[in-house]
Amino acid sequence: MLAHNSLLTYSRSACINGTALRGRMKTGVLRRKSIHLRTCPSSTMLKVGFMPKETKVKLAKLVVDVLPGEVGLRLLVNIFPEKIQVVFDGLLNSYKSQLCIALKDEKKASKAVTFIFKDMVKAYIEQFVGTPYEFPSYHKAIREPYDYYQMANMYIGSLIDFDRSIVMYPEQWTKIQNQINEGENVILFANHQSEGDAAFIPLLTEVSHPGLGEKVTYVAGDRVITDLLAKPFSMGKNLLCVNSKKHMNDIPELKATKMKQNLTTIKEMQKKLQEGGFLIWIAPAGGRDRRKADGTLIPDKFDPQAIEMMKKLGTKKSAAKTRFYPLAMATYDIMPPPSSSEKDIGEKRIVNYTGVGLSLGEEIDVSNSGKWAENLGEEADLPVELSEHIWGKVKQEYDKISKYCDPKAEEIVLNAGGVRPIRPPSVPKFD
């Protein structure tokens, strides 16, 4: 593995003038497994080991700019921790193959991949070379000096086939946007299919409902804030950080700490709901949907305790008026998860160029006088019944959009009530 020092030990002349560096690449001085940016005899050596972290980060980013094209990009993989070099290299290959499909031109795809991934590598440098970011219980999206939000939009948005995507009932998004602007809270109960799910509301509503996607706060599990490849993407979103029940006991000695953090997060959530105008996305299933053995894919069942917690927080007397909606997301194939839930961090990444879909259902009255509670017997388990009702509404909406995320499907006609989302300005064109 290439040490940070060897990557960043280079001459001033090579940094200022990329020509010398490119010449060395042609003559084979730079190799995939051993990169030495050699200096001229008269140049001053910059010994990274004795530099402050901020200086290391600046120099590393400068190297990113100097290394030319896709070849240079692939050399940069060596700055990553060894355990994720293979994962990142595989992702790079997968991503390029899909942009070749999207752009129908290998040279254009290579140019696009280089542009997108060099921007991403700069974000990773902050974590690998600089001081790793630690997420508080309530995290606000970091937009400057580096815009992590835009980074995610560019990376994920370039994989979306907008001509095959769908947003059902755009008037529903108008409704919740108005409710938020009036100081009310909105909680979206959603299924969860892809690692990039936090980007799809921003990307698919950016043109039709400007600013709405930037207001969403996601209830995020511990894996999206600890996985080294996912972390920079999470830094670009508003998050309420919790530890998932599915992974609470992965490391027994950390269970008490995790439970304490969850309590802190709940207090932060309660505070924001009291202030009003807060938009929350939560996946009550606690993880991503998985295909069944027969290949079918439907939203995973919801956890009644997660639904009940949000109900209690949203209906407290101290909270601003809070509304609850079911949201279906068809996003599985754009970034398919592993076939089963894994304990270890650092899963293999595969991507596809395909359509995606969102369907926001009608508002749900979660009170015990709502339609979901009609005709229930006295012995009914109300939290379970409410959870089943909300899951049923999400499943109903999901059935309307599931076909839009299949990269192998033929051209798909729009459903009644649906619109094609417009490719937003945050996703650059490489044609």
Label residue 85 exposed, middle or buried (CB < 10 Å: 0-12, 13-18, 19+). middle
Q: Which amino acid is at 275?
A: E
Do residues 334 and 194 make contact, with C-beta atoms less than 8 angstroms apart? yes
End-to-end CA distance of the chain: 36
How confident is the model at residue 200, as a pLDDT? Answer: 98
Q: How much is the average pLDDT of 414-418? A: 93
* pTM recorded for the entire structure: 0.86
* Nearest-angstrom CA–CA distance, 7 and 148: 24
What confidence tens digit (pLDDT) does each residue in 187-202 have? Answer: 999 999 999 999 999 9
Strands 357-360 vs 166-168: parallel, antiparallel or unpaired? parallel
* Nearest-angstrom CA–CA distance, 100 and 111: 11
What confidence tens digit (pLDDT) does each residue in 95-140 have? Answer: 999 999 999 999 999 999 999 999 999 999 888 888 899 999 999 9
* Nearest-angstrom CA–CA distance, 307 and 189: 8
The DSSP bridge partners found for residue 280 are: 187, 217
DSSP 8-state symbol, 424:
P
Residue 190: both structure tokens together: 């959603």
Q: Does the pLDDT at position 401 exceed 70?
A: yes
What confidence tens digit (pLDDT) does each residue in 9-18 have? Answer: 333 333 333 3
Lowest mean pLDDT among 32-36, 172-176, 338-342, 399-403: 32-36
Do residues 83 and 344 make contact, with C-beta atoms less than 8 angstroms apart? no
- Establish whether the linkage from the previous residue to 338 is cis, with ω within 30° of 0: no
Which of 303, 287, 291, 284 is CA-nearest to residue 402?
A: 291
Q: Which helix H or strand E contains 279, and what residues bound it?
A: strand 279-282
Q: How much is the average pLDDT of 150-179? A: 97
Q: Please state, rounded to an integer, the average pLDDT across all residues of the chain.
A: 85
Residue 145: both structure tokens together: 């000096």
Do residues 213 and 177 make contact, with C-beta atoms less than 8 angstroms apart? no
* Nearest-angstrom CA–CA distance, 344 and 361: 35
Q: Which helix H or strand E contains 97, and what residues bound it?
A: helix 82-103
